[in-house]
Amino acid sequence: MELSSFQELIRRTYLERDRARGVDGTFRWMVEEVGELARALRDGDPEARAHEAGDVLAWLASVANLAGVDLERAVQRYAAGCPTCGRLPCQCAFQ
């Protein structure tokens, strides 16, 4: 599935609930899902990792929808590799 199609699917599925919750509340739900992804990464269960990564992506799309961000456009800054050094793979010094 293309990223723009996924964002539109999330918009059609959840926009009314997300609007009612507001951008701040929706962002907090996303942060909770990031915590669940962190737990799945520590636990080492590949199925749980995939599940939680999908949840994080869905909540990010919800936040983007409320904030008026086109995710397809937003990721273009990474289309040629690292947006800082311009290389693929990144050659930036570790920070």
Total count of domains within the chain:
1
**Residues near 7 by beta carbon (within 8 Å), at least 6 away in sequence:** 61, 64, 65, 70, 71, 72
The predicted structure's pLDDT at residue 95: 63
Nearest to 62 by CA among 1, 2, 16, 95: 16
84, part of any domain = no
Query: pLDDT tens digit string along 43-83?
Result: 989 999 999 999 999 999 999 999 999 999 999 999 999 99
Cβ atoms of 19 and 66 closer than 8 Å = yes
Cβ atoms of 57 and 14 closer than 8 Å = no
59, part of any domain = yes
94, part of any domain = no
Residues, the chain, total? 95
Cβ atoms of 10 and 64 closer than 8 Å = no
88, part of any domain = no
**Residues near 88 by beta carbon (within 8 Å), at least 6 away in sequence:** 80, 81, 82
**Could you give the CA distance from residue 46 to residue 43 in angstroms, rounded to a whole number?**
9
57, part of any domain = yes
Quick check: 26 pLDDT over 80? yes
Instruction: Give the structural domain span for 37.
Output: 3-78
The predicted structure's pLDDT at residue 64: 98
Give the pTM.
Answer: 0.92
Say which CATH number the domain at 57 has: 1.10.287.1080
